[in-house]
Amino acid sequence: MELEGIGALVAGGASGLGEATARELARRGSRVTVADLNEEAGRALAAEIDGDFVRADVTDEGDLEAAVAAAAGLRFAVSCAGIGWAERTVGRDGPAALSPFETVVRVNLIGTFNVLRLAAAAMAANEPDAEGERGALVMTASIAAFDGQIGQAAYSASKGGVVGLTLPAARDLARFGIRVCTIAPGLFDTPLLAGLPEETRAALGAQIPFPSRLGRPEEYGKLACHVAENTMLNGEVLRLDGALRMPPR
């Protein structure tokens, strides 16, 4: 897929991995629609990259329908919206609370599927290119889907669901010429880690075999764009982690 001139949607695009992806897409000539709950940051980014902004909750059908409709000529969508939660299955006060588990799964898994289904439906109406392709989608999992640590039951389960969604979604959408891949990042320098002391951040980066540092959001953005450009990438989960395998804690 040629990114120059296409419509692209980045859900969760106002910060972190999504922001970096939106910037990289704009740099390559795509018209980017940023969808996010953070209206101030989203509008500022859209103005900076000459794109569009739609305030959207990924779990809300109406919000996502509006975001997809705003992305004229949509051929590429990236789903980066997500939240985390840390709680042991059984703690000092008894079993884990059910509500946070449900919320994490709703945002990370159901929200991702909401982006997938609505963006893919819009892409299915596109004219195919010379390869027969009508669109491509990238979802965001995490290495926690494979190496979940103590306390990560909700987060790991939600991201494991995204991993499990990848291949059947790619097979479902193959008849339309729409590809689906997932990126599973390791430890990245995103707002999730920004509040930690620099000493702690450095120690986290030192766990990574090579390069021994936190991942940079732009490295995620470049891989997402490569997925769009490389037509043979389909139905695959790509670990982006510097060969990191997380220990139990």
Tell me the per-residue pLDDT of 24-75, one tens digit each, with 9 for 90 and over: 999 999 999 999 999 999 999 999 999 999 999 999 999 999 999 999 999 9
| d(C-alpha 41, C-alpha 237), whole Å | 29
Q: How confident is residue 201, by pLDDT bands cut at 50, 70 and 90?
A: confident
In a domain, 147, yes or no: yes
Q: Is the pLDDT reported for residue 109 higher than 90?
A: yes
In a domain, 2, yes or no: no
Q: Which residues pair with 188 in a beta bridge?
A: 215
What is the CATH number for 170? 3.40.50.720
Q: How is residue 76 written in tokens?
A: 């590429």
In a domain, 95, yes or no: yes
Domain that holds residue 55: 7-237
Report percent pLDDT > 90 for the chain.
92
| d(C-alpha 115, C-alpha 169), whole Å | 12
In a domain, 1, yes or no: no
In a domain, 172, yes or no: yes
Domain count, the chain: 1
Q: What is the pLDDT of residue 36?
A: 98
What is the number of helices (H) and of strands (E) in the chain?
Answer: 10, 9
In a domain, 58, yes or no: yes
Name the strands in the sheet holding 178-185, side by side, starting at the edge strand that comes first in the sequence.
Answer: 52-55, 31-36, 7-11, 74-79, 135-140, 178-185, 237-240
Q: What is the pLDDT of residue 199?
A: 86
Q: Per the residue annotation, which of 53, 155, 176, 220 is the catalytic one?
A: 155
Backbone φ and ψ for 237, nearest 5 degrees, come out as -105, 120
Q: Is the pLDDT reported for residue 82 higher than 90?
A: yes
Q: What is the pLDDT of residue 177?
A: 98
155 is catalytic: yes
In a domain, 197, yes or no: yes
Task: Centre a 10 Å sphere on the Cβ of residue 245 and count the other Cβ atoms it contains.
Answer: 13
- Provide the whole-model pTM: 0.96
| d(C-alpha 87, C-alpha 56), whole Å | 28
Q: How confident is residue 151, by pLDDT bands cut at 50, 70 and 90?
A: very high
Q: What mean pLDDT is reported for the chain?
A: 96
Q: How is residue 206 written in tokens?
A: 């030192």
The residues near 109 (Cβ < 8 Å, ≥ 6 apart) are 158, 159, 161, 162, 165
- Asked which of 114-123, 160-169, 197-206 is least confident by mean pLDDT, the reply is 197-206
